[in-house]
Amino acid sequence: MPTPEHMQAAVEAYVRALNAADLDAITALYADDARVEDPVGSTPSCGLNEIRAFYARSLRLKLQVALEGPVRAVAGEAAFAFSVSFEINGRPTTIRPIDVMRFDAAGRIVQMRAFFGPGNISTG
């Protein structure tokens, strides 16, 4: 089982990779058979090919990502609040999700779920 320190480092690497629009670094964090459900309730992206395509679409926007508090990491899972800011159609937009990541024994992400809804999105 990955240590809390490993999971903390993985979350920090994830945030850095999103800010750098580094698709390879993002997908390297995931296990081959991982699932991404972003947002929760949407159809999950399953496997590295679908996950890579999901992030490729997301990275078309210039993202500014920041943790908004400490990572909670225990028992092979990590949860963290963060902000994702970008401009779409000339309007600044910020989403404030809480992501939950589950890790395998090798320390790779096997599941990521992003919890947010309309009340967590601001424009202006």
Q: Which of 14, 30, 55, 99 is catalytic?
A: 14
Instruction: Confirm whether 14 is a catalytic residue.
Output: yes
Q: Which of 30, 38, 55, 99 is catalytic?
A: 38
Query: pLDDT at position 71, please?
Result: 98
Burial class of residue 11 in the structure, from the number of CB atoms within 10 Å of its CB (0-12 exposed, 13-18 middle, 19+ buried): buried
Calculate the CA dihedral of residues 84, 54, 79, 40 and round it to 10 degrees.
Answer: 100
Query: pLDDT at position 124, please?
Result: 77
Tell me whether strands 45-46 and 30-37 are parallel, antiparallel or unpaired: antiparallel
Instruction: Confirm whether 38 is a catalytic residue.
Output: yes
Q: Mean pLDDT, consecutive 10-residue segments, the chain of 124 residues?
A: 96 98 98 98 98 97 96 98 95 97 98 97 90
Domain boundaries, the chain: 4-116
Q: Does domain 4-116 have CATH number 3.30.1360.200?
A: no
Extract the tokens encoding 11: 């979350």
